[in-house]
Amino acid sequence: APSPKYITGDRAAINEFIDKFDTFLFDCDGVLWSGDHVFEGVPETIRMLKAKGKRTVFVTNNSTKSRQDYLKKLSNLHIPCEKEDVFGSSYSAAVYISRILKQPPGKNKVFVIGEAGVEAELAAEGIPCIGGTDEKFRRDMVPEDFQGLADGSLLDPEVGVVLCGLDFHINYLKLSTALHYLKKGAVFLATNTDSTLPMHHSFFMGAGSCMIPLEYASGQKPLELGKPSQAMMDAVEGKFQLDRSRTCMIGDRLNTDIRFGIEGKLGGTLHVLTGVHKKEDWDKEDAVAVPAYYADELSDLGLVA
Ligand code: PLP
Ligand code: CA
């Protein structure tokens, strides 16, 4: 049976918890804020950890925004942060493409299903892309499109990668175009595979739910670059020179955040109950990850000596 340690209100347990780690990886939505509403006491908690010499890194699966966008959001909400401390799934994907995949010239264009955050991070890594927010792809298919995709005349021969994230303008033309690139051998990547997007106390279609039609149609599974993918953990470790045993992942979602920390063999994981999953979810048959610690909310860490 799962037995995570409950640290809310327990000063000794909180001190012990904080002392165990040098670096805290924070999931953002559901831990720091919900939408545009920052949870009470969060800026103070991050400031307290920094004052104790802890490294704080913000690791989000939200690919619609760039690191720059996140930096702006964090600073608007008075959470202390530098650009280097933000690690998003769109950045993770861009770094993977430019530094690990290293497509040959002439095959290095990326067909994007996604929003501006993906495009911005690809551009920052010097990777050309098409699709994405281009209005040319935001329309219904006409008979010429079916013909042009089938005979390849509508396809850019330099596309060697299909990258799928959350796209608020997903449509038949984009999905069919991506399918044709995959059939021609493009590498299939996903920024993240969150099934849902929590908003306004409800759930909307997540990036994973935009990607699944493509997986189904192509018969291929994408390589995921967001939590819980260890490709992302490796990139985070490389960038911040982490000692995994002295690092803790803090999140609200068991199948992304907590699993990310456990599979990455981090020293600890903390589940806060302000987001998607509740403690009832640990026991569910499909629970994929049980945290080492849990707390009602992040600011509970503020009860520190
Ligand atoms: N993807 C999108 C598009 C989002 O807007 C969000 C939350 O705002 C997420 C994923 C989940 O982000 P996080 O990993 O910070 O919880
Ligand atoms: Ca979250």
| Predicted-complex ipTM score | 0.97
Cβ-count burial 133-171 (b if 16+ within 10 Å, e if not): eeeebeeeeeeebeebbeeeebbeeebbbbbbbbbeebe
Over residues 127-153, the pLDDT tens digits come to: 999 999 999 999 999 999 999 999 999
pTM: 0.93
pLDDT at position 109, please?
Answer: 98
Which of 34, 36, 38, 60 has most ligand 1 atoms within 8 Å of its beta carbon, as the pocket-test mutant?
Answer: 60
Count the neighbouring beta carbons within 10 Å of the beta carbon of residue 182: 21
Distance in Å, CA 245 to ligand 1 centroid: 26
Residue nearest (by alpha carbon) to ligand 1 atom 5: 62
Whether 192 and 257 have beta carbons less than 8 Å apart is answered as no
Residue nearest (by alpha carbon) to ligand 1 atom 10: 62
Residue nearest (by alpha carbon) to ligand 1 atom 4: 62
Mean pLDDT value of segment 189-215: 95
> Counting Cβ atoms within 10 Å, is residue 96 exposed (0-12), middle (13-18) or buried (19+)?
buried
Chain centroid, CA 37 distance in Å: 19
pLDDT at position 144, please?
Answer: 97
Which of 62, 73, 79, 252 has most ligand 1 atoms within 8 Å of its beta carbon, as the pocket-test mutant?
Answer: 62
The DSSP secondary-structure symbol of 99 reads I
